Amino acid sequence: MRQISSEEVYTALPIADCIDVVQAAMIAVSHGKANLPLRWLMPIDNGNAMGIMPGGLYEPHIHGIKLISLYPDNPKRGLSSHQGVILLFDSGDGRPIAAVEASSVTAQRTAAASAAATRALSRPNSRVLAILGAGEQADHHLPAHLAVRPFDEVRVWTRTYTNAQAFAARHAAKAASIRAVTTAREAVAGADVVVTATASPKAILMGEWLEPGQHVNLVGASVASAREIDDAGVARGRYFVDTLAGAKAQAGEYLDALKAGAVTEAHILGEIGKVYDGTLPGRMNDADVTIYKSLGVAAQDLAAAHEVLRRVSGN
């Protein structure tokens, strides 16, 4: 069984390639060509948990599982908050074929999933990007977004202003203008694309701030008890999800808005994979607000990990 390190992941699968791999995986998911039981979270202690994410793909014919420790305070120790491994199996004969370092795959595939949604749903001439959050996901969402749209102005906000400043400094060379701002509202005003990538359990993005034409990727809240946007924000846009089953069970923003009567079940227009292959209309006009709710699915991990395995094996 091949063991694959984070360095090999980043080298073998650059973000531009990962975007295409994840997009193809989501098309397969939306056409029933994947087996995706719901993710399970096992609490540990001190607010830590283990995510257990099994899945199977038909093409490539593999199955496997991501086992990922979620340790929100890890960045204070200089470590990723996501620590784990993806085990890949050959579905033809059941053999384990690889153990792939998972924080790198998680970082890459999540940013890739958002960037693919931005490519499909944002206005093509989008040039102002707002990122709420300045952690590991934000670090990867910036280059992923620069790969799909001509952003020349980036605003970053996070809970701790000095972290936003540090983000702007470490990425300064990547775009014409990258600056830290002191409020989320300031970041969002006039932006073309907004990414929320925080560990906040409560709304940090308000619907009343959203402007015609904006595209929003909701990335951070991965469990039913967390949310990053308020009810008005959920209701404000054409709302797409990675998987219907996942969103109906675990998309905190949508579930809260549903409970409050701000939206009905019909508000979820469908899965992003159907937007990618043109079977579901995405943006209808330049004034639409579009929203992609990313919960993250094992199909993205398996597809990305398998592509890394294929490349490092020289196949």
Residues that bind ligand NDP (CB under 6 A): 72, 75, 81-82, 106, 110, 133-138, 158-160, 163, 197-200, 204, 219-220, 222, 294-296
CB 217 to ligand NDP: min, Å: 9
CB 126 to ligand NDP: min, Å: 21
CB 72 to ligand NDP: min, Å: 6
CB 22 to ligand NDP: min, Å: 10
**Contact call for residues 253 and 200 (beta carbons, < 8 A):** no
Query: What separation in angstroms does the CA of 110 have from each of 23, 95, 145, 212, 300?
Result: 11, 27, 12, 26, 8
For ligand NDP, the closer CB: 134 or 146:
134
Kindly report each contact of residues 75-84 with a partner whose C-beta sits within 8 Å and lies 24 or more positions away, as own/partner: 75/135, 75/136, 80/107, 80/136, 81/135, 81/136, 81/199, 82/106, 82/107, 82/136, 84/51
Return the residue nearest ligand NDP (CB atom): 135
CB 138 to ligand NDP: min, Å: 6
Three-state DSSP class for residue 286: coil
For ligand NDP, the closer CB: 225 or 279:
225
Show the tokens assigned to 163: 């972290």
CB 82 to ligand NDP: min, Å: 6
For ligand NDP, the closer CB: 23 or 110:
110
For ligand NDP, the closer CB: 136 or 230:
136
User: In terms of DSSP H, where are the helices of the chain?
Assistant: 6-12, 15-30, 102-121, 136-146, 161-170, 184-188, 231-236, 244-250, 252-259, 272-276, 298-312
For ligand NDP, the closer CB: 15 or 219:
219
* Ramachandran class of 287: left when φ > 0, alpha when ψ lies in -120 to 50, beta otherwise: alpha
